[in-house]
A and B are shown apart, each in its own frame.
Chain A
Amino acid sequence: MLRDAALVCGKDLRIEMRSRVTLNQVVPFAAVVMLLFGLALGPDRRVLVPAASGLFWVAVLFSSVLAVQRSFALESADDAREGLRLSGLDPAGVFLGKAGAVLAELVVLEVLLAMAMALLYGAHLAGVPVLAASAVLASLGLAAVGILYGAAASGLRVRETLLPLLFLPVVAPVLLAATKAWNLALAGTPDRADGWLSVLGVFAVLYLAIGTVAFGSLMEDR
């Protein structure tokens, strides 16, 4: 299963390395969202700094919808999905591999976006270990739910409009917990963020487990 996961993850990341769609389109999109939030809230730093982590995570949530859509657009070209099904790879491995690739993309996006946040909103990046830990755990949860729903919506004509409606309400706790963890870390009290980190961890583990078990029935007959 893990070998299959590594294969699928490597394949998705290699396609990304060659096409650079996430880097050239999703990351700039996230930056635009951050810029628009700045315009909506005005230039006042007293407003922007407390809101910074919330805005950051909303931008990440929107971008993860695009990353998931991209992940399944790869499979729809040239009927690659059929190839994946016929390859005999373990469905759980395919799920973990695709989630792993999205996780890697999201982490890169978050690093770049955090720099944009510090730059645009004047937020001082403190408590970096907590920031990094919560970012990885949150991205894991986002990737797991995203791949699960992405598979459910893939191949449907209405997938572009359906995926955000399915995905965003489910990841609401991720937004909440990650924002709180980042707020605490940025405020200089990273040791109080432990509870929120465990919320993120439980969320990620639960949805990775559901995905590993249920992905098979989504990949079957279509």
Chain B
Amino acid sequence: MTAVAEALSQPEGSISALSETSGRAALALRVTGTLAVVGVVATAWLGLFVTPNDVNMGDLVRLLYIHPPMAWVAFVAYGIASLSSLLYLWPRTRHPRFDRMAGASAETGVVFTGLTLVTGSIWGRPTWGVWWTWDPLLTTTALLFVLYLGYLALRRVPGDSEAVAKRAAVASLVAFVDVPIVYFSVSWWRSLHQAPTVDLTGRHLYVHGSMAWTLLLGFVSFTLVYAWLVGHRYRLSTLRQREADECLTAAVAERQQEGQS
């Protein structure tokens, strides 16, 4: 949650700092942010007040307007993080911007994975009668959450920025390759047990009319929220790197002056 908190806690100062670097990027970020907020508010309004109850699920169906979009964003975030890590590891495309992108995207992905797990549990408790079930999709999502928590912990260890970036890129790759293996082995593990498998979509759900539009709006606006958060995190890490570089230059100049006097 710190990513969101940090990104949200610097509204004005951050945008003015950004406009110094690139006015167009700042404008794009601001427009994305505005659209994201409007979209989420509209999704909430449509989901809570406009759309009808479901015949089987009742009010629970309203969670469906935010839960799948969150899961979608989480998977997109990990995909982008892994792609950026791969581009960083490839010597020809190695550039710090890919490392920063991977970090920003993975961080946002962890936030959305957490939200996916929480909303899924809230939905699962009344629907299935349990907070948690060892379904392949759930288990894979939970493992993704801890895998990328480890990745973020590794990123946070201070050190030479290039060494940190390489370590992180390898770790991201290792984590990403794990996901299909986990999914496959857990689904197989489950299928061999005689335990009742849970139909993830619950009972038959007919999505139509205002419900379909609300769900679509949810997907669009949560993707915008993702883009907005990643944009801010990316900008923050760029500024942090520049601050470190400038502090170093200043300190070197100071020492040199001391030597001359």
Contact = CB atoms under 8 A, between A and B. Distances in A.
Interface of A: 145, 148-149, 152-153, 156-158, 162, 165-166, 169-170, 172-173, 176-177, 180, 195, 199, 202-203, 206-207, 210, 214, 217-218, 220-222
B166 A210 contact: no
B104 interface: no
Contacts of A176: 185-186, 189
Contact of A180 (B153, B178, B189): B189
A218 B170 contact: yes
Contacts of B149: 165
Given A162-B157, A221-B162, A152 B170 contact: yes
Nearest to A206: B177
B174 A149 contact: yes
Interface in B111-163: 143, 146-147, 149-151, 153-154, 157, 159-160, 162-163
23 contacts: A148-B170, A156-B159, A157-B157, A162-B150, A162-B153, A165-B149, A165-B153, A166-B154, A173-B178, A173-B181, A173-B185, A173-B186, A199-B181, A199-B185, A203-B181, A206-B177, A206-B181, A207-B174, A210-B170, A210-B173, A221-B160, A221-B162, A222-B160
Contact of B174 (A170, A173, A180): A170
B70 interface: no
A182 to B, nearest CB: 14
B174 A169 contact: no
Interface in B205-243: none
Contact of B167 (A165, A203, A218): A218
B175 interface: yes
B143 A169 contact: yes
B188 interface: yes
B147 A217 contact: no
Contacts of B181: 173, 199, 202-203, 206
A218 B150 contact: no
Nearest to B182: A173
Given A152-B154, A162-B154, A176-B189, A214 B159 contact: no
Q: Summarize B's interface: helix, strand, loop or mixed.
A: helix
Interface residues of B, number: 32
B166 A166 contact: no
Contacts of A170: 147, 174-175, 178
B74 interface: no
Contacts of A180: 189, 192
Nearest to A218: B170
B184 interface: yes
A199 B146 CA distance: 22
B171 interface: yes
B106 interface: no
Contacts of B192: 180
A131 B166 CA distance: 37
Given A149-B171, A169-B147, A169-B150, A177 B178 contact: no
Contacts of B184: 199
Given A170-B178, A206-B181, A165 B150 contact: yes
A175 B120 CA distance: 26
B160 A145 contact: no
Contacts of B154: 152-153, 162, 166
Given A149-B174, A218-B166, A169 B185 contact: no
Contacts of A214: 89, 170, 173
Contacts of B151: 166
B166 A220 contact: yes
Nearest to A202: B181
The 5 residue pairs across chains A and B that have the minimum distance between CB atoms: A166-B150, A165-B150, A152-B167, A169-B146, A173-B185
Nearest to A213: B89
Count chain B CB atoms within 10 A of each CB in A156, A195, A220 and give the residue with the most: A156
A199 B153 CA distance: 29
Contacts of B167: 152, 218
